[in-house]
Structure 1
Amino acid sequence: MDDLQALFLRDVPLLDVRAPVEFHEGAFPTAQNHPLMDDADRVAIGTRYKQQGQDAAIALGLQRVSGEVKAQRVAAWEQFAREHPDGVLYCFRGGLRSRISQQWLFEQTGLHYPRVKGGYKAMRRFLLNQLETLPATLQPVVLSGRTGSGKTRFLQTLQRTMDLEGLANHRGSAFGGQPTPQPSQISFENALAIQLLRALQTQSALLFEDESRMIGSLHLPETFFTRLREAPLVLMQVADAERVEISYQEYVVDTSAAFTALHHGDVERGFAAFSGYLLGSLDKIQRRLGGARHQAVLKMMQQALAIQARDGTTQAHYDWVRLILLDYYDPMYDYQISKKQERLVFSGSPAEVRDYLSSVGVV
């Protein structure tokens, strides 16, 4: 298999036989990791290769991955191959590990499963090239608006959009962390490149949410971010009361429920994790809030958490949400938008923004 563009455009299932540590450093959205060697195997065999050469390393590998261990790994590949008959397998360079996996799978099951020429390295190089070249063909429009305006929700109702915060698994603010961790930088870039490649097959105009270079701990690739930073800006205006309601719903109600779900419905453990998330998020902006304002927000937050712990209600969180939204985020946003006025092409309510985007062919 060497048509990498078709592989990514068709969402081909990917059987990744690299070691788990390699998979966690960078992977693709449709990939599952069923390694030929685990992390300990990889270290031991790599050390043997450096000390004694390839033949000795292969001999050690065949010794470590044998018997029941070998049977279990082939069984995992067989299950994947039968569930995904249209898939392909790969290792790092498309060399020895993928050939051995392919050979063992055939010998044990009779299944011929294709492998990717050049492996992960070729796939990664292809996607990096897309991130360098595709932004030049992109005609982005950027949706801006004050914190809590519901921009992400708005994007999710449209077709010609890309949810960068969804790809990054982060809502882009100090309180934007999710219960589950962000992907690695490499995995984020891979997913972004694939989405761009797919979206630009049919139309160059795409709508993005206004983001800084950093989304949580991840950064947008320079070429792509430069294109967004130069794009026309559409400002969505939402009443303060509605913004407070949206922020309360997303950062309190939804996030609290998500932490409980992550802990398999254990309300006590979920609440403890949620409390840690809120207080930790507040700590991140302590210096920018200033001492007095930080203490005021902290007191409101602690009181709200105490009430929630006592009777499960969350309405007390409205107080700190309102204060931090209007007194902290709004002045920062007003400053940032003042520097982007030359890019502003339209401003209006969500309904008016939708009509405008339709009139210019973005949605």
Structure 2
Amino acid sequence: MVRPDTEDYRALFLADAPMMDLRAPIEFEKGAFSCATSLPLMTDDERAQVGTCYKQQGQDAAIALGHSLVSGELKDRRLHAWSEFARSHSQGYVYCFRGGLRSQTVQRWLQEAGIEYPLVRGGYKAMRRFLIDELERSAASADFVLIGGKTGTGKTRVIWDLPRSADLEGLANHRGSSFGQLPQPQPSQIDFENALSIVLLKLLDQSGERIFLEDEGKLIGRLCVPDVLQAKMANAPMVLLEQSLDERIDVVIEDYIVDLGGRYQQLYGEQGAQLHAEKLQADLLKIRKRLGGELHLQMSEVMADAFDQQHAQGQLEGHRQWIGFLLQEYYDPMYEYQFEQRAGELLFRGDRKAVLAWANSR
């Protein structure tokens, strides 16, 4: 396998090249790449000390302080971790923020340990700039088709079954609705944008320009769909999914009761079932103003009874009432209004099987 050049960022991301990120943990948390592993040269506190020294005494003093902080047994432990990564990822790279002193220092220490490991020129800053620009190019050149439809029609399932598609909700780790928050946290906005840019980069590197996206609003949970993509989606053509109310209730039960409940139990054990029920009650409370106080109270009681029945008897049927009500009285009117406002052409409409057949024939 030919190793991509250290300035060929496109090739690096297309290859999912493993990368050793030497920035401090706080920098990594703000934004990184899915192919990168955090193995910092300095902790947040050590980095802060060096930064203060740089401002007060200059670069030479800061470098000297950095070497004194990362020395002896501490240096040996970190060098061991870097060496293990390099040996385990022979096609990998090392970088810091700008490809400067931190990565050059670790690269030299690895060389002294007998390991030649390339440094990404320009570091994180240059790769981040590349992905921002690439997202704009992708949005401008791609032929996006939206998968639309009311809540519960299974739009995300269609996205999963289409090879030339980008799962925005998967990248955002959120199901997109008022109830869509998952127990695992969402990525940072920068991580979301980086991952999205890489996905589109890979799709457009393949033959063809058409890419299917789920019809989304501006926000997916707390994450914002990038403006350049929002603008393109606003006028994109759409394929409309249509399923019966019973089929839509089945999908919601599978996603928000069975799957989401399983996630809570996996994370929290015996407490998971109670936390799952409390989470959905909290989500219902968020839309209380739009439902009205009396209807909210009624649905809250129906939901509570459904969970009691589920926990006592393992029956899911009790959930159909509150889910069906919210679909018809809350979600459907909102979607119908939004659908009337959109500008893109309607290319096709049908159930999931028909939509997949239509999409694959193109």
TM-score normalised by structure 2 residue count: 0.94
Provide the residue aligned with 1:96 in structure 2: 101
Alignment partner of 1:246 is 2:251 = yes
Partner of residue 180, structure 1: 184
* Alignment-derived partner of residue 156 in structure 1: 160
Give runs of aligned pairs for residues 306-317 of structure 1, distance below 5 A: 306-310=308-312, 313-317=315-319
Partner amino acid, structure 1, of 2:139: P
Asked if 1:20 corresponds to 2:25, the answer is: yes
Shift of 1:284: 2.1
Give the equivalent residue in structure 2 for 1:212. Answer: 217
What's the offset of the Cα at 1:71?
Answer: 1.4
Which of 285, 289, 301 is the matching residue for 1:299?
301
Pick aligned residue for 1:59 from 64, 69, 74: 64
Residue in structure 2 matched with residue 354 of structure 1 by the alignment: 356
**Equivalent residue, structure 1, for 2:149:** 145
Choose which of 99, 110, 114 in structure 2 pairs with 1:105. 110
Q: How far does residue 331 in structure 1 lie from its aligned partner after superposition? A: 1.1
SS in 1 for 2:176: coil
Give the counterpart of 2:335 among 333, 338, 341: 333
For 2:75, the equivalent position in structure 1 comes to: 70
Q: Distance in 1 between matches of 2:22 and 2:296?
A: 49
CA distance in structure 2 between the partners assigned to 1:222 and 1:23 by the alignment: 24
Instruction: Report the equivalent of 1:37.
Output: 42
Task: Give 1:278's aligned residue.
Answer: 280
Alignment of 1:253-268 (within 5 A): 253-263=258-268, 266=269, 268=270
- 2:226 is matched by which residue type in structure 1? P
Question: 2:228 matched to which residue of 1?
Answer: 223
Distance 1:91 1:341, change over 3 A: closer
Structure 1 residue 309, shift from structure 2 partner = 4.6
Give SS of 2:144's match. strand
**Distance verdict in 2 for CA 1:38–1:276, change over 3 Å:** farther
Choose from 128, 136, 139 the match for 2:140. 136
For structure 1, the 5+ residue unaligned runs are none
1:320-363 Cα offsets, whole Å, 9 max, x none, are 2222122211111111112237622221122222232234x2xx
Q: Separation in 1 of the partners of 2:314 and 2:46? A: 48
Structure 1 stretch displaced more, 284-293 or 10-19: 284-293
Please tell me whether the aligned partners of residues 234 and 342 of structure 2 are also in contact (alpha carbons under 8 angstroms).
Answer: no
139-148 or 54-63: bigger deviation? 54-63
Counterpart amino acid of residue 51 in structure 2? G
Tell me which amino acid in the other structure corresponds to 2:301.
K
Deviation at 1:279, TM superposition (A): 2.1
Task: State the alpha-carbon separation in 1 of the partners of residues 344 and 23 from structure 2.
Answer: 49
Distance between the aligned counterparts of 1:177 and 1:166, measured in 2?
Answer: 12
Whether the 8 Å contact between 2:139 and 2:229 is mirrored in structure 1 is: yes
Matched to 2:245, the amino acid is: D
Partner secondary structure for residue 358 of structure 1? helix
Rate the CA distance shift 1:6–1:242 in 2: closer, same or farther, 3 A: same
CA–CA separation in structure 2 for the residues paired with 1:245 and 1:32: 39
Offset of residue 126 of structure 1 = 0.4
Once the two structures are superposed, what CA deviation does each residue of 1:132-182 show, in whole Å capped at 9, x if it has no partner? 222111101111011001111121112111111111111110111111111
Matched residues in 1 for 2:49 and 2:310: separation?
A: 51
Superposed displacement of residue 281, structure 1? 1.5
Q: 3-state SS of the aligned residue for 1:347? A: strand
Give 1:198's aligned residue: 202
1:288 counterpart residue number: 290
The change in CA–CA distance for 1:342 and 1:195 in structure 2 (over 3 A counts) is closer
* CA deviation after TM superposition for structure 1 residue 277, in Å: 2.0
CA offset digits 1:225-256 (Å, max 9, x no partner): 11111111111111110100110110011001
Q: Which residue of 2 aligns with 1:166?
A: 170
**Across the two proteins, how many residue pairs are aligned to each other?**
356
Equivalent position amino acid for 2:56 in 1: Q
- Structure 2: give runs of 5+ residues left out of the alignment: 1-5
Q: 2:321 aligns with which of 307, 319, 322?
A: 319
What secondary structure is seen at the aligned counterpart in 2 of 1:207? strand
1:85 partner letter: S
Instruction: Please identify, of 153-162 and 122-131, the stretch whose mean Cα deviation from structure 2 is larger.
Output: 153-162
For residue 206 of structure 1, give the secondary structure of its aligned residue in structure 2.
Answer: strand
Q: Give the RMSD, CA atoms, in angstroms.
A: 1.5
Residue 91 of structure 1 and its aligned partner are, at CA, apart by 0.3
Identity of aligned residues (%): 47
